[in-house]
Amino acid sequence: MSYTAKSFSNEPSGPTVVTETIPGPKGKEAIAKLGEVFDSRCAYFVADYEKSTGNYIVDVDGNVLLDVYAQIASIPLGYNNPNLIEVAKSDKMIRAIVDRPALGNFPGADFEQIQRDLLKHAPKGQTHVWNGLSGADANELAFKAVFFNYLSKKRGFEKPFSPEEEASCMENLAPGNPEIAILSFKRAFHGRLFASGSVTRSKPVHKMDMPSFHWPTAEFPAYKYPLEQFSEENKEEDARCLKIVEERFQNWRCPIAGVIVEPVQSEGGDNHASAEFFQGLRDITLKYGAKLIIDEVQAGCGGTGIMWEHERYNITPPPDLVTFSKKMQSAGYWFHDPELIPNQPYRQFNTWCGDPKGIILAAAICDEIVNNNLLESIRETGDYLYDKLETVQNKYSKIVSNLRGKGKACFIAFDLPSGELRAEFLNKMKLAGVNVGGCAEVGVRLRPGLIFEKKHADIFIAAMDKVLSTL
């Protein structure tokens, strides 16, 4: 019996659309009222989460949609998962919510075990975790760890700050606040805060009007598809992009302390790279004494059919830091070098130092994935779905192109000819009973939960075929 059959006996057999538009009348009214107390302009529709179950999301108009977007890749095990609900009802979860501790100063007696439960699921080679509150927060915390480590090495780990350093940092000046940088890539997305915004390069709307750090950017490979037909061209693309990275290290106006990269650039268009590219980045960071940060916020926690996507590339030695959030329902970064722990207390610190309820849920999610072999299941579904999508691409070759994500479970994307046609496609897919999302200017990305099965893939393909026939 499949996981969905066992855990979601009341999951619908298929979508149901009862309104002529989505949102329908009740949804439009709900969005308007929400707009009185919240910026609701980005709302696609208003969901009824009490009625949503498994792979299906229900809106306030009563539309039942197959959800292959899953809260922008953030719901790993379906809506109203009964096993996670039991965890939510546990005594340790009640303590974490009601008596939420300031973990840095007043950790609870159970916090050591809570952390160890999470660390069981760390990427290969990672032995420590520092907790955060969101993906952007995780990345900014990782930058702080990298910068502290970089300057502590120069100063000497045991050497105290000089009076000049202490005085100058209070004025936002060197030497206490030196010019050092994090390198990122064009089309990258790492968050919408200040440092994370500085390394985000996917869309102007994410960072317009914000002060930013003058940090370097390099080019992420832009492959030709299908990969097997363009292997030589794509190898040349790897070499071209790595050459740019090394040139930045050699010529940037200030030292580059770290490189941050997604194993798959998701928001920026579902752009993939090879093992050779990622190993090349690792080699360059080692050569120039910089840290390698892998941003697993969207790809991590099983979305690509393995727990951590960067492990597919066998990066040697392992990345210095790996950030996580989204499907984990928690956030933070994994690391293995004890020297990434700041040389003094209260440097990497805030009131909460993470959120214990999220950490508890993250460990439970990972346990559920492992104990039920959900990675194997989603890989099988992904292979099945990709084959079906290849047939659709061949049938609608003037509309669908650059199908990508083969062998990476349901972490799949394809392109349409224009942003206008993409918007029409996404809207019509909702009316056909499927909630799916976009990326970059023309991409469509699939991000179902790990409980997505072949029967759900068939429903998606049928809806897609129906919609494409009208474009």
- Confidence band (pLDDT; 50, 70, 90) for 32? very high
Select from 359, 356, 351, 335 the least CA-distant residue to 129.
335
Over range 67-96, report the average pLDDT. Answer: 97
- What is the largest distance, in Å, between two alpha-carbon atoms of the chain? 71
Buried b (16+ CB within 10 A) or exposed e, 208-221: eeeeeeebbbbebb
Count of CB atoms within 10 A of residue 154's CB? 12
∠ at Cα 82 (79, 84), nearest 5°?
A: 80
Spatial distance between the Cα atoms of 29 and 284, rounded to a whole number of angstroms: 54
DSSP helix/strand/coil, 322: strand
- pLDDT tens readout for residues 304-321: 999 999 999 999 999 999
Residue 16: closest CA among 64, 81, 75, 58: 64
In contact, 77 and 450? CB cutoff 8 Å: yes
Give dist(CA 347, CA 423) in Å, integer: 45
CA–CA distances in Å: residue 200 to residues 108, 139, 373, 413: 36, 11, 34, 20
pLDDT tens for 36-71 read: 999 999 999 999 999 999 999 999 999 999 999 999
Q: Tell me if 138 sits within 8 A of 333, measured CB to CB.
A: yes
Q: What is the pLDDT of residues 237-292, one digit of tens each?
A: 999 999 999 999 999 999 999 999 999 999 999 999 999 999 999 999 999 999 99
Q: Concatenated DSSP letters for 230-270?
A: SHHHHHHHHHHHHHHHHHHHHH-SS-EEEEEE-SEETTTT-
Token pair recorded at residue 422: 């993409």
344 Cβ neighbours under 8 A, 6+ residues apart = none
Q: Which pLDDT does position 104 carry in this prediction?
A: 96
Residue-level pLDDT at 332:
98
Query: Residue 15: its pLDDT value, please?
Result: 98
Residue-level pLDDT at 456 = 98
Query: Residue 79 and residue 55: Cα distance in Å, rounded?
Result: 7
Q: Which domains does the chain have, with CATH numbers?
A: 3-80+373-469 (3.90.1150.10), 101-354 (3.40.640.10)
Please compute the mean of the pLDDT values over residues 201-211 and round it to a whole number.
Answer: 94
Query: Which residues face 414 on adjacent strands?
Result: 444
| Euclidean distance between CA atoms 141 and 395, whole angstroms | 47
Global pTM value: 0.97
Give the position of tokens 């990258």.
188
Q: What percent of the chain has pLDDT over 90?
A: 100
Catalytic site positions: 189, 295, 326, 351
18 φ/ψ angles, rounded to the nearest 5 degrees: -115, -5
Q: Please tell me the distance from the alpha carbon of residue 185 to that of residue 430, in angstroms, as a whole number.
A: 33
Of 272, 269, 271, 298, nearest to 419 by C-alpha is 269
- The band of 365, judged by pLDDT with boundaries at 50, 70 and 90, is very high
pLDDT tens, position by position, 422-447:
999 999 999 999 999 999 999 999 99
Residue 354: name the closest of 92, 146, 100, 73 by CA: 100
pLDDT of residue 305: 98
